Amino acid sequence: MGSISNPPSIFDLRSSLSSVSAPAKNGNGAISRSDRPMALDLKLNQRKIVHGDAGYVLEDVPHLTDYIPDAPNYPNPLQDNPAYSVVKQYFVNTDDTVAQKIVVHKGSPRGTHFRRAGPRQKVYFESDEVHACIVTCGGLCPGLNTVIREIVCGLAHMYGVTKILGIEGGYRGFYARNTISLTPKSVNDIHKRGGTILSTSRGGHDTSKIVDSIQDRGINQVYIIGGDGTQKGASVIFEEIQRRGLKVAVVGIPKTIDNDIAVIDKSFGFDTAVEEAQRAINAAHVEAGSVENGIGVVKLMGRYSGFIAMYATLASRDVDCCLIPESPFYLEGKGGLFEFIEKRLKENGHMVLVVAEGAGQELIAESMRSMNHEDASGNKLLLDVGLWLSQKIKDHFSCKGKMTINLKYIDPTYMIRAVPANASDNVYSTLLAHSALHGAMAGYTGFTVGPVNGRHAYIPFYRVTEARNNVVITDRMWARLLSSTNQPSFLTLKDIESVRNVYSPKYLPPIKEPIYNGLPNSGSAEEHHDDQVADESSLVNQISGATTKH
């Protein structure tokens, strides 16, 4: 990638900061406020964006040398490690990057890239200098313990690190809870258990108390495992660390059962959750199929994003209707849910309905006392769509003259996230942990790690916190689901027209037929979807009235 050129308008943070004279430091590497050079203050938190030939853009992550220009480096001890030294080209080339968009059109710009994850020739920490800590925040997710285990074992076995601290109880654990010392021996079996051995929490993010605790304990690598809220918290911790001029690498490892973190291909634990959801769907199918006009309703997790419900439905093939937050639905009248249920019961004698917990919140709010409550992290507390929907269906069919139904409601929500990771999530969690610690050892900081088109990359925090990953209902995947269940799309012609006109007018032919099963030509949207995910998602949210908070 020697061809990268930096046009004058483009700011390369590292090179401009390296010309700043080394500031004076106090005890544990902090630069005192009065000694901090002006250039440093001005350039903190700037995005590192490098432009190259043919529309190539690198959205780079910060490096310790951005604000500690004289930080020494050392040869990577991995080159003497018998397990790794035999690997041809074990170290990643300094300039390797990963493309965010891999489907490209002839003549289109190369687009956004991220720094490739992996071990570097040079490290910015000596083994006995490292004092790492690990914290888990937010909801549970299968694989949390595997990530903890592999950070501990990776740091110890690859880099000879011996000081690793577990922060208990999420962010507030930095200042209000105990810590535990983690060793390869103490974490040896934890990947076989669900949950997190460090325990977790929502709320309690007090940036200055957290950074004080990091500074006081002499911690210089912080591994933060959590979802979108956690990554926002990690980002402000990083900013404060940078402001104080501390030699501390801050690394986020994305965790979300909902798969709602932007940019990365998929979050760990998601496959396990989808697999576990099959058990509930199977039970619902057996129950529904064993009685006359049986209806099985299964509620799955997914606060703002319906990925679990969508993938569990696609995997199962026993589901007749899947409802997600991104796709509004209605109950009564032509094309409504009740009409579809009646039709399906008449055809098959039974049906299975999967509903993501965030679906239909506006409908419930209309018929119940509206609740605008939030949890400790500021996430919207949801009304129980599973119970509400079950009751609505029962009420509808209990009317005189309607068919008699037999409805069973299954709520396995916490069961799908409390289990240990399956085999593939275990391997994936291992790779995430390794990518994270290689990045920290190489001096990178202020990043989230994750696979982008199958290659692990270091992604600046802002890219994973400024937008959420949603099911795009004009993509082929949702069309696949609609065609597999043959359920109504519940969208009016006006809804579809506005979605299509706003973000892809030039690609999409006009709608000719009324919408019932699936979105006509919805496949064509996916071809152009790479550029449009953020726009599409927000648009879909507008249509569904879903909140985009948090």
Ligand X SMILES: Nc1ncnc2c1ncn2[C@@H]1O[C@H](COP(=O)(O)OP(=O)(O)O)[C@@H](O)[C@H]1O
Active site residues: 258
Residue 59 contact among ligand FBP, ligand X, Mg ion, none, beta carbon within 5 to 8 Å by kind: none
Longest Cα pair distance anywhere in the chain, in angstroms?
Answer: 85
Nearer to ligand FBP, 48 or 255 (CB): 255
Decide which of ligand X, Mg ion, ligand FBP, none touches 230; Cβ closer than 5 to 8 Å per partner kind. Answer: ligand X
Residue whose beta carbon is closest to ligand X: 138
Asked if residue 413 binds ligand X (CB under 6 A), the reply is no
Distance CA 126, CA 122 (A): 11
170 sits near ligand X (criterion: CB under 6 A):
yes
2 CB-near residues (< 8 Å, 6+ apart) = 95
Q: Which of 287, 357, 475, 495 binds ligand FBP (CB under 6 A)?
A: 357
Q: Are 40 and 24 in contact (CB under 8 A)?
A: no
Instruction: Report the candidate in 31, 113, 116 with the shortest Cα–Cα distance to residue 66.
Output: 31
203 is in an annotated binding site: yes
Question: Binding pattern to ligand FBP, positions 133-162, x when CB under 6 A?
Answer: -----xx-----------------------
- Least spacing, CB of residue 470 vs ligand X, in Å: 15
Instruction: Check if the beta carbon of residue 250 is closer than 8 Å to that of residue 220.
Output: no
Nearer to ligand FBP, 137 or 540 (CB): 137
| Segment contacting ligand X by CB under 6 A, of 35-43, 108-116, 224-232, 499-507 | 224-232
CA dist., res. 24 & res. 41, Å (int): 15
Exactly one of 142, 154, 194, 226 binds ligand X (CB under 6 A); that residue is: 226
Q: Could you report how far apart the first and last alpha carbons of the chain are, in Å?
A: 37
Encoded tokens for 395: 């009420």
CA pair distance 305, 258, nearest whole angstrom: 6
Nearest to 464 by CA among 446, 478, 477, 481: 446
Residue 267 or 489 having the CB closest to ligand FBP? 267
Residue 230 sits in the site that holds ligand X (CB under 6 A): yes
* Binding-site member from 195, 229, 269, 358 for ligand X (CB under 6 A): 229
The phi and psi torsions of 28 (rounded to 5 degrees) equal: -95, 35
Under the binding rule (CB under 6 A), the answer on residue 469 touching ligand FBP is no
Coil vs helix vs strand at 356: strand
User: Residue 154 in contact with residue 235, Cβ under 8 Å?
Assistant: no
DSSP E strands in 301-446: the ranges are 321-323, 350-356, 406-410
For residues 112 and 305, which CB has a smaller minimum distance to ligand X in the complex? 305
Part in contact with ligand FBP (CB under 6 A); list of ranges 41-49, 65-73, 162-170, 251-259? 251-259
For the residues of 426-450, what is the DSSP string, one character each?
HHHHHHHHHHHHHHHHTTB-SEEEE
435's tokens: 């990518």
Residue 138 assigned to a binding site: no
Site for ligand FBP in 373-412 (CB under 6 A): 375, 379
Please identify the residue of the shown chain whose CB is closest to the bound Mg ion.
227
302 marked ligand binding residue: yes
Query: Residue 359's binding partner, choosing from Mg ion, ligand X, ligand FBP, none, with beta-carbon cut-off 5 to 8 A by kind?
Result: none
Q: Are 298 and 353 in contact (CB under 8 A)?
A: yes
Which class for 101: exposed (0-12), middle (13-18), buried (19 or more C-beta within 10 A)?
Answer: middle
Query: Annotation-wise, does 230 bind a ligand?
Result: yes
Per the DSSP assignment, residues forming a β-bridge with 351 are 295
SS3 165: strand
Q: 173-232: which residues touch ligand FBP (CB under 6 A)?
A: 227, 229
Among 115, 417, 463, 500, binds ligand FBP (CB under 6 A): 417
Residue 220 binds which entry of Mg ion, ligand X, ligand FBP, none, with Cβ cut-offs from 5 to 8 Å by kind?
none
Q: Is 257 annotated as a binding residue?
A: yes
Task: In angstroms, give the least distance from the CB of 230 to ligand X.
Answer: 3
Q: Which H helix or E strand runs over 341?
A: helix 337-348
Which one, of 387, 403, 398, lies nearest residue 343 by Cα?
403
* DSSP strands (E only) in 309-356: 321-323, 350-356
Q: Tell me whether residue 260 or residue 320 sits nearer to ligand FBP (CB atom).
A: 260
State phi, psi for 125 to the nearest 5 degrees. Answer: -135, 140
CA-to-CA distance for 471 and 494, rounded, in angstroms?
A: 20
Phi first, then psi: give them for residue 327, nearest 5 degrees.
Answer: -115, 105
Rule CB under 6 A: say whether 236 interacts with ligand X.
yes
276 binds ligand FBP (CB under 6 A): no
Establish whether 227 is an annotated binding residue: yes
253 contacts ligand FBP (rule: CB under 6 A)? no
Binding window for ligand FBP (CB under 6 A); candidates: 255-263, 421-429, 483-491, 530-538: 255-263
> How far apart are alpha carbons 226 and 479 in whole angstroms?
31
In the chain, the amino acid numbered 430 is T
Site for ligand X in 237-276 (CB under 6 A): 256
Q: Which is nearer to ligand X, 261 or 354 (CB)?
A: 261
> Residue type for 27, please?
G
Q: Name which position in 113, 163, 205, 529 contacts ligand X (CB under 6 A).
A: 205
| Contacted entry of Mg ion, ligand X, ligand FBP, none for residue 518, CB cut-off 5 to 8 Å set by kind | none
The footprint of ligand X (CB under 6 A) covers 137-139, 170-171, 202-205, 226-230, 232-233, 236, 256, 377-379
Where along the sequence are the contacts to ligand FBP (CB under 6 A)? 138-139, 227, 229, 256-258, 301-303, 357, 375, 379, 417
Binding-site positions for substrate read 256-258, 301-303, 357, 414-417
Provide the annotated binding site for Mg(2+).
228
